[in-house]
Structure 1
């Protein structure tokens, strides 16, 4: 059994493999277009203050996503 968390709950330096995206279809398509798709490895680089955005690394690419969007992404850690 694998331990899963939502992407929003990982600390900088932590990461894992995307298991699922629990979002509306339009948001899911946007996240997949950014490279956040099931099976990909991601890592949190930096967290914005309070409810600020997250800097996420996918391979060699860094993207910034809203925290509320990160709460839709389930990660196997």
Structure 2
């Protein structure tokens, strides 16, 4: 699958699709918990930036730590450590590892 095809398929299109996979937002992960990215919700500009940072459907993500007040949050994605604001992390939908 090409990068263009991956980006075109990045978004979970319906609430039913999200509910069917029992997804939750990335910010809901506990510290040390891993999961798999399944899609995005929200503004295309922000979604494209998250995609460029490595939050691609199918990739594993691990929540490393959070700031004392809960924002921002640090994640490990594909060998990189990335810090996101809570509002950005809420746009990434994840499902448990199978």
TM-score calculated relative to the size of structure 2: 0.72
Measure how far apart 1:38 and its partner are.
1.0
The alignment partner of 2:57 has SS state of coil
Report which of the two structures shows the higher radius of gyration computed on alpha carbons.
2
The alignment partner of 2:54 has SS state of coil
Indicate yes or no: 2:61 matched with 1:42: yes
The alignment partner of 1:37 has SS state of coil
Which residue matches 1:21?
40
Count of residues in correspondence between the two structures:
77
Which residue matches 2:82?
63
Greater strand content? 1
TM-score calculated relative to the size of structure 1: 0.90
Give ranges in structure 1 of 5+ residues lacking alignment: none
Question: 1: CA distance between counterparts of 2:52 and 2:78?
Answer: 14
Question: 2: CA distance between counterparts of 1:62 and 1:33?
Answer: 14
Runs of 4 or more off by more than 6 Å in structure 1?
A: none
Cα-Cα RMSD: 1.3
Moved more, 49-58 or 30-39: 49-58
Greater helix content? 2
